[in-house]
Amino acid sequence: MTFDEKEFLACCGSSKFAKEMALASPFSSLQAAVATARDIWFNKVDVNGWLEAFDAHPQIGKSAPSNHNSQTSAQWSKGEQSTALATATNSSLQELSDWNARYRQKFGFIFLICASGKSTSEILAELKKRYPNRPIIEFEIAADEQMKVTELRLAKLFATKAEAASAYDQHPMTLEKKAEDRVSIIGAHLTATSEAPAGKTFQISARTRPPITTHVLDVSQGCPAAGLDVKLDMWMGKQSRPSFDENDVGGWVLQGFSSTDKDGRSGQLMSIVDAVNPGIYRISFNTGKYCPGGFFPYVSLIFEIRETQKLEHFHVPLLLSPFSFTTYRGS
């Protein structure tokens, strides 16, 4: 499908992103467009472009102004915040506004989160959790959230154009109504947080990436850590969970292995599934090979995914230097 720069600007407010996507168009599929979008966003759009995209969003809890650069983007923002607005009270909106102002004063840009399907209380809790972050960490989280929004909007864009092409031949007078219905269906499916009703199946996975991902930054060099070996294991030992006091050899089962690319992101460490198996996982980084003179031969991070979290996405970034590392759970 072929799209123009204006259409891509509605998906992401970075003019550089929109221009590069228009140059790369047409796309054979949504998956091809998403892959290209991720490459452009993380490898070609600079810091100023990221900030431009952030600034194109209305503050969570508020509508975009009537003179917004993209009315399509403004309309999509309104839909993405519909759950938050429907669950809001006057007091929660005021608290959200106060925290938004504190966040912007600290970081210099708007609080960004993929708000689709999230209540006001969930958004406020996430804002408070992220507020103590260091600016470099929060900047990356915001960029990841922007990419989630972009992927969701690309799906809407593809759905709208596909429906338009089909509807025009069959029923030209009902074109707009059908396109809107299709967008609503796709948007709801991509942001669903619960299992489908019994007997109902979907042809398209709600995910566009594996449930567990990572991203490594070499803070000593100020750049992504490319060529770093990463592996993901799951605990399947005789005991229900590994013990700090006992040898756990033989209990870990390899799920996937990859090396980070030029952006510091690993390849696929597990299959793209709607629901990840609950359990205890270990992600390990071959830091000794990457930095032979460093302090850590390797770094392993162990975390647990509970039954109630199996539909969530777990992003485990690593900020690495020869003698220290920092991690956190992204989204």
Binding site residue list: 215, 265, 328
The CA dihedral of 61, 67, 71, 74, to the nearest 10 degrees, is -10
Residues 204-219 as b/e (b if ≥16 CB within 10 A, e otherwise) read: eebbbbbbbbbbbbbb
Extract the annotated binding site for substrate: 215, 265, 328
Is 235:279 a contact under the CB 8 Å cutoff?
A: yes
Q: Is the peptide bond before 292 cis (omega within 30 degrees of 0)?
A: no
Phi-psi region of 222 (alpha: psi -120 to 50; beta: other; left: phi over 0): left
Q: How far apart are CA 331 and CA 328, in angstroms?
A: 10
Beta-carbon-side half-sphere exposure of residue 299 (alpha carbons within 13 Å): 24
Distance (Å, rounded) from C-alpha 220 to C-alpha 296?
A: 14
Going by their DSSP bridges, the two strands 212-218 and 314-321 should be labelled as parallel
57 noted as active-site residue: yes
Give me the catalytic one of 57, 171, 189, 313: 57
Strand ranges, E, within the chain: 212-218, 223-224, 229-235, 252-259, 279-285, 299-305, 314-321, 324-327
Active-site residues: which are they? 57
